[in-house]
Structure 1
Amino acid sequence: MRRRLIRVVLATAVVAVTAAVGQGGASAVVPAPVDAGLIPPKDSTKVEKRRPCKDAVRVPDGPDVPVAQRDLDFQSVWPITRGAGQIVAVIDTGVSPHPRLPGLMDGGDLVGTETGTVDCDAHGTLVAGLIGAAQVPGSGFSGGAPDSRILSIRQTSSAYNAAGQADQVDNAGNSVGGYGNVATMATAIRRAADSGATVINISEVACKTAAEGIGDGDRYLGSAVKYAVTVHNAVVVAAAGNFGSGECKLQNPAHDPLRPGADLWDSVSTIASPAWYDDYVLTVGSVEANGSPSEFSLAGPWVDVAAPGSGLTSLHPSTGDLTNTTYGVQGNAEPVKGTSFAAPYVSATVALVRSRFPQLSAQQVMARIEATAHAPAEGWNTSVGHGIIDPLAAVTADVPLDGATVDQSTSVAVEALPAAAPPDRRPRNIAVAATGTLGALLVLGVLASFPLRRRFQSATDRR
């Protein structure tokens, strides 16, 4: 069962901050109470494109299986299930059409006036490829659930800004910015759920320090994930966030082994949303090829599982090729890494499980994936949660969840082996009887020797 932390009952529908401290300190925080009926306001902001679309390095395809895909061993699952019948919503920067995504569906554009199949940032296309890229002859790369379908909703982009709004400038004087917020994300989640998505992947995160608080707008995000899970039975998978980048500037402390019973929500430094809505979100941290937590992976009491998040290869956003490196707004090369790309491996695993066990509820699927993960030594920690996912175990392990009956319809009945003939114990019985007889004769012989020995001794004494 999922590791659930005690929630503090709040009197107001805002984030509780029980101890205000300065920058870098920690406060006791919990998510606000969630109302699944809270609808985000309609966004009427006019948006305009300010920066060119990002490009990516073209990587030739080949038979080699990427390390992360090989380590998770998706190939061993595909004879059982490939994710058929599952719609995975990718709420991201859009997903570009690609030959390896034949079932790509347009879920709409919440940034501009185009479609969900426009990707100016490469990010969403990379995420979609890790989930659902189809297999092709001669290529070792594939999505984890190659028979699933991708529903793309463009919710954010670094190439756009609100019309009339001045661009932000970084420390180097470069123009930066982008569009997308917690309200548009909440709208996208509801749209995905209403469109029939069985899995919703959110490789985005909104971060605030505990001292700042997450803001009232986060209530819409909490409402949306609860709506998706409890009303539409969709599994929501979210990235934990990348420490040191964007707004996630402070790392949350690790669990103190000297305080095993401590409430970790009391030591939170950075709030990450929607990740911290732990009852309704399967939150994903990142690990390296050796299984250790990635330095950039934001820890937290809401982290549930982990997956590889470094050295990844996926679909190129503007050609039919693959890529492992994208270019930033300023032209700098950026390897494909981050919790953003660990999350889609978990979404692919969810699609496999849902295809294999359609009778399981969203929260039962979440619990199943947690229960079959490779747990850390302490059983759970703030970096990897319940551990690194195991797609094959998630699909095949006998994990009864809340009385749910595991469907065995795809198993094959075989005839029982014929009953073995009863063993022939006659040789053993003869041997036992013979041994017993010899033993008895030996005892009688010893007893009979006693009078003879006394007579012999008496004759000797008379001499």
Structure 2
Amino acid sequence: MVVGLNAGFGVSGTAFADRPPAIDPGLLPAGDPAAPPDKTERGSGTNGLCFRTQASTSAAVIPASQRSLDLDRAWQFSRGAGQLVAVIDTGVQQHPRLPDLWAGGDYVAAGGDGTEDCDVHGTVVAGIIGATRVDGEGFSGVAPEARILSIRQTSSLYQAEGAGRNKSPEDFPDGYGKVSSLASAIRRAADFGARVINISLVACNNNSPAGEAAFGALGAAVRYAAVEKDVVIVTSAGNSDNACKSGNPGPDPLKPAQDLWSTIRTYVNPAWYDEYVLSVGSINSNGAPSSFTVPGPWVGIAAPGENITSLDARTTGISDGKYDNQGKYMAYSGTSFASPYVAGVAALVRDRFPELTAKQVIERLQATAHAPAEGWNPYIGYGAVDPVAALTNEVPRELPPKQASPARSVQLAVPAPPPPPDNTARNVALIGSGAIALILTLGFLASFPIRRKFGMTIDDL
């Protein structure tokens, strides 16, 4: 079974929808040593070369995704100082804007330390979380004073040793990364002392993974990190155009109150363990759900995930996209890049409110998000993350359940008829004016007999 950015696993079939089973803590794997479960090799020929990047041409401009979060205001309250954020990904390349990068180990290449990023993915994720601020440059990490712990767990450019024997130089590598090593990486990050773990990768299955040993270990690992080590675990919701092509249906308009756990076609892990992790959907620049987000009853929140700018894994600058080994350009888009925005905000919250537990941090993030009209939906969860609100708002004691609210027919109150107009002042004025006019008229008429008595005419006056 392979877990990664572009590869899925499992056999298609009818899924028996259910929530995760009770977790067996006895299945918790060791986190040490950080080494691949198998002997591995880099792909051969051109397809084994590390991806190239596209440098950003707008270094001075604040990226739209960052601007929507109003980070300048959020930084008045917290910058993530002292928070260790683990990035379990394709590795994080050394970069001058990640001055306190910790090498946490490598489950892909024997002898690696987690600081090689051939896929140009983990470095982008890490930059979104914790890249330091630079005068004159618009881009910055969400938590610029946080530290990054890099653990490489997957790569599309590696494969099990010997897998390339029957391949031509033009063939793509199989990719490498296992659910079992993901579980070990989570355990390792928690034992390192990470306060937040970001997992921008998924394992998708079209059959319930409850009975598979690797998933039992994954469940034990997320529970261990979240409960026993008090770590906030943030993970991507998955992309329908990559590993999770089957996707899941959204709410049925004819059955608005239907339990979405009963309609699952694709199990997305580790998001499936929603009691212990916060899964993140993607929104575009207009705040609408991205078309590639895999909906699910586990989705908790959303963040920008399209046309992202972050650190360049090949230079000391920043980048807007990468080229694969066939020369195809790919902008940085996906739930993989929405997740680190939320992980960065989690680091800000942990810095400002150190007394909060991991569960309380997740609840605060969800409660202060910009909620959709129905309160929650399987594409963006409780809504778009709001860093300023997460750092300043009062939080309600309890969130509504992760269930879309059906449309309701509500009889609006009939407005009371307006009171009749008060015309008293007008009437008094009219009556008074009429009386005065009448008196003047009568006075004028009464003056004629008097003038005749004295023989006066107008010409005599």
- The TM-score normalised by the length of structure 2 is 0.78
Alignment of 1:46-445 (within 5 A): 46-50=39-43, 51-60=48-57, 62-112=59-109, 113-166=111-164, 174-210=171-207, 215-246=212-243, 248-399=244-395, 401=397
Q: What does residue 30 of structure 1 align with? A: 19
* AA partner of residue 49 (structure 1): R
Contact 2:237 2:294 (C-alpha < 8 Å) held by counterparts: yes
Q: Distance in 2 between matches of 1:44 and 1:345?
A: 31
DSSP 3-state at the match of 1:175: coil
Contact 2:91 2:150 (C-alpha < 8 Å) held by counterparts: yes
Q: Identify if the C-alpha distance between structure 1 residues 400 and 28 changes in structure 2 by more than 3 Å, giving closer, same or farther.
A: closer
Q: Identify if the C-alpha distance between structure 1 residues 166 and 40 changes in structure 2 by more than 3 Å, giving closer, same or farther.
A: farther
Q: What does residue 8 of structure 1 align with? A: none
Q: Distance in 1 between matches of 2:320 and 2:211?
A: 33
Q: Identify if the C-alpha distance between structure 1 residues 189 and 295 changes in structure 2 by more than 3 Å, giving closer, same or farther.
A: same
* AA partner of residue 349 (structure 1): V
Contact 2:79 2:146 (C-alpha < 8 Å) held by counterparts: yes
Q: Distance in 1 between matches of 2:276 and 2:87?
A: 17
Offset of residue 179 of structure 1: 1.0
Offset of residue 86 of structure 1: 0.4
Q: Identify if the C-alpha distance between structure 1 residues 284 and 167 changes in structure 2 by more than 3 Å, giving closer, same or farther.
A: farther
Q: Distance in 1 between matches of 2:286 and 2:386?
A: 15
Q: Identify if the C-alpha distance between structure 1 residues 168 and 298 changes in structure 2 by more than 3 Å, giving closer, same or farther.
A: farther
Q: Distance in 1 between matches of 2:221 and 2:149?
A: 17
Q: RMSD of the alignment, in Å?
A: 2.1
Offset of residue 181 of structure 1: 1.0
Task: Report Cα offsets for 1:325-372 as digits up to 9, x if no partner.
Answer: 111243311110000000000000000000000000000000000000
DSSP 3-state at the match of 1:193: helix
Q: Distance in 2 between matches of 1:214 and 1:147?
A: 42
Q: Identify if the C-alpha distance between structure 1 residues 167 and 380 changes in structure 2 by more than 3 Å, giving closer, same or farther.
A: farther
Task: Report Cα offsets for 1:267-286 as digits up to 9, x if no partner.
Answer: 00110000110000000000
Contact 1:157 1:178 (C-alpha < 8 Å) held by counterparts: yes
Offset of residue 374 of structure 1: 0.7
Identity of aligned pairs, percent?
51
Contact 2:205 2:267 (C-alpha < 8 Å) held by counterparts: yes
DSSP 3-state at the match of 1:299: coil
Q: How many residues align?
A: 379
Contact 1:240 1:283 (C-alpha < 8 Å) held by counterparts: yes
Q: Which runs of 5+ in 1 are unaligned?
A: 1-21, 403-463
Q: Distance in 2 between matches of 1:215 and 1:54?
A: 34
Offset of residue 166 of structure 1: 4.1
DSSP 3-state at the match of 1:217: helix
* AA partner of residue 165 (structure 1): A
Q: Which runs of 5+ in 2 are unaligned?
A: 1-10, 399-461
Contact 2:371 2:384 (C-alpha < 8 Å) held by counterparts: yes
Q: Identify if the C-alpha distance between structure 1 residues 168 and 66 changes in structure 2 by more than 3 Å, giving closer, same or farther.
A: farther
Task: Report Cα offsets for 1:278-300 as digits up to 9, x if no partner.
Answer: 00000000011111111111100
Q: What does residue 444 of structure 2 align with? A: none
Offset of residue 212 of structure 1: 8.0
Offset of residue 110 of structure 1: 1.2
Offset of residue 210 of structure 1: 3.3
Q: Distance in 2 between matches of 1:296 and 1:167?
A: 35
Q: Distance in 1 between matches of 2:165 and 2:259?
A: 41
Contact 1:60 1:321 (C-alpha < 8 Å) held by counterparts: no
Offset of residue 401 of structure 1: 4.9
Q: Distance in 2 between matches of 1:285 and 1:176?
A: 28
DSSP 3-state at the match of 1:304: strand
**Structure exhibiting the larger radius of gyration computed from Cα positions:** 2
Contact 2:159 2:173 (C-alpha < 8 Å) held by counterparts: no
DSSP 3-state at the match of 2:233: strand
DSSP 3-state at the match of 2:53: coil
Q: Distance in 2 between matches of 1:240 and 1:360?
A: 25
Contact 1:209 1:269 (C-alpha < 8 Å) held by counterparts: yes
Offset of residue 198 of structure 1: 0.1
Q: What does residue 403 of structure 2 align with? A: none
Contact 1:47 1:160 (C-alpha < 8 Å) held by counterparts: yes
Q: Distance in 1 between matches of 2:100 and 2:225?
A: 22
